[in-house]
Structure 1
Amino acid sequence: MTITNGEAASLRSQQWFGAEGKTGFMHRSWMRSEGLPDDTFRGRPVIGIASSWSELTSCNIHLRALAEHVKRGIWQAGGVPFEFPTTSAGEPLVRPTAMLLRNLIAMDLEETLRANPLDGVVLLAGCDKTTPAYLMGAASVDIPALLLTGGPMLNGRYRGTDIGSGTSVWRFTEEYRAGRIGAEEVAEAEAGMSRSQGHCMTMGTASSMASVAEVMGMQLPGSAALPAADSRRATLAHVAGRRIVEMVAEDLRPSKVLTREAFENGVRANAALGGSTNVVIHLLALARRVGVPLELDDFDTLVRDIPTIVDLMPSGRFLMEEFERAGGVGAFVSTLGPLLHESAFTVTGSTLGENYADAQAWDREVIRTLDNPVKPAGSGIAVLRGNLAPRGAVIKQAAAAPELMTHRGRALVWDSLQDYLRDADDLSLDVTPDDILVVRNVGPRGYPGMPEVGNLPLPRSILQAGVTDMVRISDARMSGTSYGTVILHVVPEAAAGGPLAFVRTGDIIEVDVPNRRLHLEVSDEELAARAVGWSPVVVPGSDRGWTKLYVEHVVQADEGCDLDFLQGASGAAVGPQAF
């Protein structure tokens, strides 16, 4: 595209490359070592390509190749691309949990964008925490930004059937613990599950965040569902490179897209997708970065009239390949129609409704109609409150057992995940299917980082008896690929002195999801007495580095688990170079 003299002068990058004297000399001359021609510095939009590529983040391993296609589009549109890395975090490997690094990645991106001569940025993300982290960092700086997720893997295969990442892991490992399958079957499933590049192909957190980000207007239409191995994703990357240059000319920044209407669309879309509970935490954090009012209760009240219409694991039968073939996000949005704010603005420069005006669903088994849903309206995420969770807890109803939605049982309590896992394999453990499993000190401060362990594996004796679900309560998260009657994100967490810290084995807990109630049958006076002399657990590694900063400043799950000093946008302004 052609940039006018006036537009060139207003480019942020010209504060660096258009400067006179030794300042401009330094900026331009050092960049010439990369083989750039003279006109690189004469008013062309400078576009960053933020990459979460890492060989330690297998879901994002293909993003380096995808960046080359983005560069082609940027050059073609008259921009100048600069690819740069950030901290990356992959769910399969990072310990104690990738969530511990989400805010670090966001901070890394934010500081890189602010400190460098960039007019816009394309965000290449994929694995669970990289996508929200990139949205948070870019939204904080608020320069034109366009997200491109890496796409899901191809369907897993096992003995003639499709298997899904995460969801099938839990199923196979539980079957193995119960003695119903052997090591050979587990090894065969392991070998066939991850058959290509890309993130989880179930409607886990990665697919949920990608789809929600597209509905919220931060991705180009068609970006979320297209498999990573599909050559059309390279085409999308090329088009994204062209579009970000146009967005710079239009001054189309995240603050113009991430409005209250966009967040409402994201909340409602996640419910209709049967999406991850992790989306709750990520959207709460993102909203606070841009100053949009969004509260935990919105994830309950805004979805009471929203059915689950996408039949994907873990809540349903299919995987992302089928979702894409059925029409993907476009067909999904057109099916929801007026249940979304169709007038919400997007990175295309058009509204959500305009983006998908001609979209059609090609398979109504995968993307159901509103009158034939997978789950009825109101079966999305529910927010529970009571004396055990004064500030709330969440449950994914679509993945839970209906018969356990109202339940009263004896609490069995463990102070650590490691203690629970040890005891769960003990066939002499005193446990019945009616008991409620409680594990604490696995929240943002207590673990630290709030790991995806809330979907506790059932005790071995329970599995061998043929029981497949029990009520489980914790201050942890769970993978978006998980299922079961699992109550998560209890706030305040145990490590912050919440009531969860004072539950004892033998206490009675009442769960009443229809009435949004989570009640510990212990008096306030008794809880106060139990709290006398209490002190939080000592968090491993919390005496130095990032973990120390995180534990001291992380907010609770109902506020998004961001760091307290990162809430609120920072802007793109930066001081002059001191040459």
Structure 2
Amino acid sequence: MGLRSEHWYAGDDRNAYIHRAWMRRGTPDDAFTRPQIAIANTASDLTPCNAHLNEVAASVSNGVYEAGGVPLNLPVVSLGETNVRPTAMLWRNMAAMAAEEMLRANPVDGVVLLGGCDKTIPALLMAAASVDIPAVVVPGGPMLTGTFRGVPLGCGTDVWRLSEEVRAGTLSQDAFAKSESAMIRSRGHCNTMGTASTMALVAEALGTIIPGVAGTPAPDSRLLEASHGTGKLIVELIEKDRRPSTFLTKANFHNAIVALAAIGGSTNAVVHLLAIAGRLGVDLTLDDFDRIGSGVPLLVDLQPAGRFLMEDFHRAGGLLAVLREVRDLLDPEALSVTGNPLVDHLDDAPIWDPEVIRSRTEPIIAEGGIAVLRGNLAPRGALIKPAAASPNLLQHRGKAVVFDSIEDFHARIDDPDLDVDADSVLVLRGCGPRGYPGMPEVSNMPLPKKLLEQGVRDMVRICDGRMSGTAYGTVVLHVAPEAAAGGPLGLVRTGDVIVLDVENRRIDVEAPDFLSRAPSEAMSKAFATPSRGWERLYIDHVLGADTGADLDFLVGSSGSEVTRESH
């Protein structure tokens, strides 16, 4: 099989001349007959978690050269979770589409995907799945653990915790401000089991990363060693025509779901895995997450569901040590990007610290997977992460306190006259893919100040948006259909009794007229109504959270063929 890049560089016609001449710039003649490797690089100073990826790219380049390929740096859309407004998720599909188009449009035979911050790895995998050329991921890795006043800080998780203590009056604003410079100790993404860490580990379980690499801290020299090795591997993938469609099957997603449950990973992984599967044509549904993951034991004692941080997780044995404990739950047929079954990499993967990674016989929670709820409030499903919730609230009955938008929520949540108590259920709507737009991470709503002052630290919260993987609490999220798509969440009224029953996978409103009501006019006025640009395109075409929130015209694969130009 010839190289894809030959369609640009081979031959004596004018087009081939132009392609070679403009790319030559000191390049030897034989460079145009070697595999051309794009390094899809999400490094950006405005994506602080990915700022070090240029150094990673250099190591990848060295490996590519060593294996006989030609490395080509390809900057792609970079989404920094902490900076972009209104939410990075608004542009995940745009980043995926842009990367896909650049890979298809350019003379490249394979691609190394450099991601780290939350949306970058999912977007790159969606792109690679759609263009279907050989591809492998290098994850940027988590930061090292920072400490403040002798206590380790989990970035994200401790932001939520400390900010609530300020609102409760138990921590001064000055102390909170001083913790800021200690929160981010080094390069790398969040050091909790947030979405960035989760997606790196899940991508390895999916088979798209060299086994044993995900979770390596960003400043660790072993990440550069692995990057070099990945540069060599991509040339092999081209030689063997090992493309995403040739080895990523339902079995790989099965293993990713098992891993997600065992590590206590972010609920955001659900919407990302559904989107990636949609690009591959793999029949993955919400019910698969409950069916496969609900009985998997939680083995990783990491924030936000536990005590430790990613540096500890790597030291304790990392993902392979976790997967070895649940080996019997994995699909043995699922291949890794190496060409071997993932399970073949588990034989020498001991647990080095049983406090951080528990054995199968001593799990943190016997059944730790994400639960999928249904009922008259969420006919197409909603999620809850029991490992991050309060056990006493997993079966709960309370009166709704409804907010029509995040702005409405902020305006009223700390009103001392708000009719709310510890048994109330906070309901926030208009925050789904279409409603905000982009499905922001607002589902873990801050609790009312007056209840925080009374010592309350968790309540049942329901939303059609997402929450950060670093967050915690008894939060029902990704409610589908969303309110902006006519979902029943738009029919809830303050005072309605809501029943949460996680054991029986139910979320219902107790009101005989519930589904026959008219939607709230105030809520409808709060929905986003952009008139132009990406937001307009997004709202017109985005699908629901229950299928991955991709755009309807991007589902599926377009392949690597491109219309030949004429100069």
Please indicate the TM-score interval, normalised by the length of the shorter structure: over 0.9
Q: Counterpart in 2 of 1:24? A: 16
Q: 1:316 aligns with which of 302, 306, 316?
A: 306
**Counterpart in the other structure of 1:330:** 320
1:37 aligns with 2:25: no
Give the deviation of 1:539 after TM superposition: 4.4
C-alpha separation between the residues in 2 aligned to 1:126 and 1:47?
Answer: 20
Equivalent residue letter for 2:485 = A
Correspondence list, 1:246-257, <5 A = 246-257=236-247
The CA RMSD over aligned residues, in Å, is: 1.3
Aligned-residue offset at 1:428: 2.7
| Matched residue, 1:291 | 281
Is 1:349 aligned with 2:339?
A: yes
What is the SS of the residue equivalent to 2:507? strand
Cα separation, 1, equivalents of 2:294 and 2:90: 32
Aligned to 1:386: 375
Is the contact made by 2:404 and 2:522 (CA closer than 8 Å) also made in structure 1? no
Contact 2:405 2:526 in 1 (8 A): no
Q: 1:565 aligns with which of 553, 557, 567?
A: 553
Find out whether 1:522 has 2:514 as its counterpart: no
Tell me the distance in 1 between the aligned counterparts of 2:523 and 2:51. 43
Q: How does 1:57-456 map to 2 (within 5 A)?
A: 57-377=47-367, 379-456=368-445
Q: Distance in 2 between matches of 1:49 and 1:422?
A: 45
Please list, as runs of the form range in 1=range in 2, the aligned pairs for 1:474-513 lying within 5 A after superposition: 474-513=463-502
Matched AA of 2:24: R
Task: Say if 2:490 and 2:520, in contact at 8 Å, map to a contact too.
Answer: no
Q: Which moved more, 1:308-317 or 1:181-190?
A: 181-190
SS in 2 for 1:490: coil
Letter in 2 for 1:502: L
Distance in 2 (alpha carbons) for counterparts of 1:94 and 1:57: 9
Offset at 1:427? 2.5
- 5+ long unaligned stretches in structure 2: none
CA distance in 2 between counterparts of 1:120 and 1:428 reads 60
Note if contact 1:412-1:435 (Cα within 8 Å) is conserved in structure 2: yes
The answer to whether the aligner puts 1:542 opposite 2:526 as a matched pair is no
Q: AA paired with 1:459?
A: P
In the TM superposition, what is the alpha-carbon distance from 1:381 to its structure 2 partner?
0.8
Give the match's secondary structure for 2:293.
coil
Return the offset for 1:527.
Answer: 3.2
CA distance, structure 2, for counterparts of residue 540 and residue 496 of structure 1: 12
For 2:86 and 2:197, locate their aligned partners in 1 and report how far apart those are by CA, in whole Å.
22
458-467 vs 338-347, which moves further: 338-347
CA apart distance, 1:538: 5.8
Task: Give distance in 2, aligned partners of 1:19 and 1:515.
Answer: 65
TM-score by length of 1: 0.96
Q: What is the distance in 2 between the residues matched to 1:101 and 1:52?
A: 14
Q: What is the distance in 1 between the residues matched to 2:525 and 2:434? A: 9
* Change in CA separation of 1:526 and 1:252 when aligned onto 2, cut-off 3 Å: closer
The 2-side partners of 1:532 and 1:203 are apart by: 37
Tell me the CA shift for residue 276 of structure 1: 0.4
Whole-angstrom CA distance in 2 between matches of 1:460 and 1:529: 32
CA–CA distance in 1 between the matches of 2:307 and 2:86?
A: 31
| CA deviation vs aligned residue, 1:39-98 (integer Å, no higher than 9, x gap) | 111x20000000111111000000011101110110111000111111111110010000
Partner of 1:3: none
Q: Give the direction of change, closer, same or farther, for the CA distance of 1:89–1:363 in structure 2 (3 Å limit).
A: same
Preserved CA contact (<8 Å) 1:109 1:134:
yes
- Counterpart Cα distance in 2 of 1:537 and 1:75: 57
Structure 1, unaligned stretches of length 5 or more?
1-6
